[in-house]
Structure 1
Amino acid sequence: MNWISNVVPPKIRSFLKRETPENLWVKCPDSGELVFHKDLEANLYVVPNSGYHMRIPALARLDALFDDGAYESLPTPEVPADPLKFRDVKRYSDRLKDYRARTGAADSIRLAAGALQGIEVTVAVQDFDFLGGSLGMAAGEAIVAGIFRAIDHKTPFIIFTASGGARMQEGMFSLMQMPRTTVAIQLLKAAKLPYIVVLTNPTTGGVTASYAMLGDIHIAEPGAVIGFAGARVIEQTIRERLPEGFQRAEYLREHGMIDIVVPRPQMRETLGRICRLLTKAPALAAA
């Protein structure tokens, strides 16, 4: 008990007590630093002092990417919601409804088109908040639709990957999205259009085994975990201790698996420069 509860009358006490919003301060998982959530959002969800890249909402990523934050949200194809009538602790169809209500997205891939430093681009963003960004029929169809749109409009195709892998609730229908997206990417390359992959934390499983590793350019955000199987699974299988930083973006860059590691605040400028280079567009005039 304290003096407010002991001495101050209830009516006055109600004025003194203020509700504090949740998540007002965010703790950095790396340094333990507390960051005001508005400052974190303004810095694209990168902790200012430690540089730790926290997960950024898909819509916030799109807002930060396109010129003046202006873009067109593209529709994604409809697919059967629950082809296997799958059920674990709850029905898969009910789980999908929950995540759609929670994220406002139809599935784990969002498509958008707009200008990036004056270059028209088609973009796909994988949303980890939707069932761990897992690859199912809807996500596969969305990627294929985005690639076909890029071919029709003769634009580069940029994808931001974030996934735990294939969606087990859809079984073989999920696994079939790996070759389907691979074929679509080959059509994009046959049209001589750039395919740029931005690997974010985490990019694993069947996504890494398919479209995430087929880009003309592979970019990664700092500290992103990128791989097929988890590090513990690999250690248990080969019975050896893995190197420090194994499967992290910086380790993969040093060993030639990715081309460049780019901090999120510099991503827009870097992607714009790469798109201009690959499409042979003139460089931007110096400010």
Structure 2
Amino acid sequence: MSWFKRKDKGIQTPTEAKKEAPDGLWFKTPSGKIIHTRELKNNAYVSPEDGYHVRIGSKEYFEILFDENEFTELDENMESADPLKFKDSKPYPDRIKASQAKSGLKDAVRTAYGKINGLDLTIACMDFNFIGGSMGSVVGEKIARAIDHSIQNKKPFLMISKSGGARMMEAGLSLMQMAKTSAKLALLSEAKIPYISLLTDPTTGGVTASYAMLGDFNISEPGALIGFAGPRVIRETIGKDLPKGFQSAEFVLEHGFLDFIVDRRNLKSKLYTLLKMLK
């Protein structure tokens, strides 16, 4: 049985010859499930074992929704200014440039139009990687112009929200975007053009208090955090423990603020069915 015994118990590979796995090759979900990033991408960035929906941005949503990932972007070079000369440890223009360099984005939303299974659709998608997806003047203006595009061309409008709320560096100007976008959506409604609002993780603050909840259909991804103030702030304010699952998409659906929850892997087909029905 000598063939069954390992004669040399030493390390066969010299330390200097060992290769480390590249960073970002594997993804671990909060429940501990591990998945290869390539498989994760092929599965619409949803873990197949536990259904965990990884946070993604406009690049990924456009890939998932637009046919052949073909689309025309609107106002792609619009950038934030510093009208209030906001005072902080880091000047606002520097913060903007740092976020642009890190994220590769101009601001916290991208707008584009294209086709979804052959049907025309205009999409505005927020990016949490840009200053927490905060809503500033550029975000409001780009969304308003995307709605104008939908009205002028009679195309349905999809808003994909993912935000920490209003951008404090723009103060009142940021809050004004709530009224501006809501007014534009009223015009969209008058034109009888469908508006679908998709709330993803997280959708909070002034975004929730305006365009995110004004859809003809308000839908969400599983497990998304949806609310105005965060759970910690509410708990400290009222001095009471919150119900289990408070502000989760499932909790919000149960209490009548959502029409349905859709798995991202079925998002394109569900949207197509909905738009086909409305058409």
- For the superposition of Structure 1 and Structure 2, which TM-score range results when normalised by the shorter chain? over 0.9
Cα deviation code 1:48-76 (max 9, x no counterpart): 10001111132011011012222112224
Query: Which residue of structure 2 lines up, in the alignment, with residue 283 of structure 1?
Result: none
- The Cα of 1:79 is off from its aligned counterpart by 5.7
- Superposed, 1:145-224 pairs within 5 Å as 145-224=145-224
Render the CA deviation track for 1:163-202: whole Å, top value 9, x for unaligned.
0000000111101100000100001111110010000000
Distance in structure 2 (CA, Å) of the matches to 1:62 and 1:202: 19
Matched with 1:63 is 63
The answer (yes or no) to whether the contact 1:79–1:137 under 8 Å persists in 2 is no
Matched, 1:99 2:99: yes
- 2:23 equivalent in structure 1: 22
Contact 1:77–1:138 (CA<8 Å) still a contact in 2?
Answer: no
Does the 8 Å CA contact 2:80/2:107 hold for their aligned counterparts? no
Moved over 3 A (4+): 76-80
Please report how far the alpha carbon of residue 161 of structure 1 lies from its aligned counterpart in structure 2 after TM superposition. 0.2
Q: Identical aligned pairs, as a percentage?
A: 47
Structure 2 unaligned residues grouped into runs of 5+: 1-9
Whole-angstrom CA distance in 1 between matches of 2:80 and 2:55: 29
Alignment of 1:4-19 (within 5 A): 14=16, 16-19=17-20
Tell me, in whole angstroms, the C-alpha distance in 2 between the residues paired with 1:277 and 1:224. 26
Moved more, 68-77 or 177-186: 68-77
Unmatched segments (≥5 aa) in structure 1: 280-287
Deviation for aligned residue 1:238:
2.1
**1:254 is the counterpart of 2:260:** no
Is 1:118 the counterpart of 2:118? The answer is yes
Contact 1:77 1:141 in 2 (8 A): no
CA deviations 1:102-141 (Å, max 9, x no partner) are 2222101101111112110100000011111100000000
In 2, Cα distance between equivalents of 1:236 and 1:17: 51
Query: Which is further off, 130-139 or 19-28?
Result: 19-28
Give 1:36-55 correspondences, 5 Å limit.
Answer: 36-55=36-55
Deviates further, 160-169 or 97-106: 97-106
* 2: CA distance, partners of 1:235 / 1:19: 44
19-28 or 122-131, which deviates more: 19-28
Q: d(CA) in 1 for partners of 2:45 and 2:76? A: 27
In 2, the alpha carbon distance for the partners of 1:74 and 1:170 equals: 23
Cα drift, residue 19 of structure 1: 4.3
Task: Evaluate the alpha carbon distance shift between residue 77 and residue 143 of structure 1 in structure 2; reply closer, same or farther with a 3 A threshold.
Answer: farther
Indicate conservation of the 8 Å contact 1:110/1:125, yes or no: yes
Change (3 A) 1:234 1:101: same
Q: Which residue of 1 aligns with 2:233?
A: 233
Alpha-carbon distance between aligned partners in 2 of 1:154 and 1:241, rounded to the nearest angstrom: 47
The answer (yes or no) to whether the contact 2:57–2:125 under 8 Å persists in 1 is: no
Alpha-carbon distance in structure 2 between the residues aligned to 1:71 and 1:84: 35
Following superposition, the deviation at residue 240 of structure 1 comes to 2.2
- Structure 1 vs Structure 2 CA RMSD: 1.8
SS class of match (2:128):
coil
Equivalents in 2 of 1:135, 1:94: separation in Å?
Answer: 18
Q: Quick check: 1:76–1:145 contact (8 Å CA) kept in 2?
A: no
Q: Scaled by the length of structure 1, what TM-score is found?
A: 0.90
Give the distance between the partners of 1:174 and 1:198, measured in 2 at CA. Answer: 21
